[in-house]
Amino acid sequence: MKMTFRAARSAKAAAVLAVAAGAIVASAIPGSADVSTQSPSLGGVRVESPAKLQANGAALLVPVTVVCLPGSYSSYVNLQVTQRVGNALATGGGSTRVENCTGGIQELSIPVHAQAGGKPFRKGTGFASANLNGPFPGPITDHREIKITN
């Protein structure tokens, strides 16, 4: 069952990001220079689920899928996660540079550290917001509920 869920998640991520990848490839084709000047290439970002608890809730490892311009070394993903814990919130953030953008789908695992002095994350549901920043108009964003597991 787990393999089926992962396969469905991967297929869904691939479908969501295929449009962005297609735009990047289309703009790179030499014969379509007029099209690329009218519609600039964009990237794509999608927060995946589940995130994995680390160090008794002090941090999470959150899977994120991105598509960015081939050869770009200036694309970054910023991620924020918030979770209700009792009458309080566990919050945290993390970021990473996308190494060697390929123009295709790339899977990242971004560490998110719980805010100092705040509540630790726990198993359950959280809300994640990701921003992909790079050499394109934007940022490109994704916001969604995620599962948090051990």
10 Å Cβ neighbour count for 148? 22
CA gap 43, 37 in Å, rounded? 16
Q: 12 falls in which pLDDT band (50, 70, 90)?
A: low
Alpha-helical (H) ranges within 29-132 are 33-38
Please say whether the beta carbons of 126 and 148 come within 8 A.
Answer: yes
Amino acid (1-letter code) at residue 81: V
Three-state SS at 89: strand
| Contact indicator for 82, 56 with CB cutoff of 8 Å | no
Residue 104: its pLDDT value, please? 93
- Please report which residue ranges of the chain form alpha helices under DSSP H: 2-28, 33-38
Structure token digits, residue 85: 């814990």
> Does residue 65 come out as left (phi exceeding 0), alpha (psi in the -120 to 50 range) or beta?
beta
Tell me which of 28-37, 122-131, 132-141 is least confident: 28-37
Question: Which structure tokens are listed for 15?
Answer: 């479908």
Terminus-to-terminus CA distance in the chain, angstroms?
Answer: 18
78 versus 41: the higher-pLDDT residue is: 78
Across the range 71-100, mean pLDDT stands at: 94
Q: What is the pLDDT of residues 94-107, one digit of tens each?
A: 999 998 899 999 99
Overall average pLDDT of the 111-136 stretch: 95
CA-CA-CA-CA dihedral for 75, 138, 69, 24, to nearest 10: 160
**Contact in structure between 126 and 112 (CB atoms under 8 Å):** no
